[in-house]
Amino acid sequence: MNESIGIYIMSAIYIIAGILHFVKTKMYMIIMPEHFCNHKNLVILSGIAEIIMGIGLCIPSLKTLSLYCIIAMLIVFLTVHFYMLNNDKASLGIPKWILVLRIPL
The Cα–Cα gap between 6 and 12 comes to 10
Residue 93 CB coordination number (10 Å): 6
* pLDDT value at residue 2: 59
Flag whether pLDDT at 1 surpasses 60.
no
Please state the rounded mean pLDDT for residues 98-103.
87
Give domain limits for the chain. 2-102
Average confidence score pLDDT of the chain:
91
Flag whether pLDDT at 18 surpasses 80.
yes
**11-15, 45-49, 100-104: lowest mean pLDDT where?**
100-104
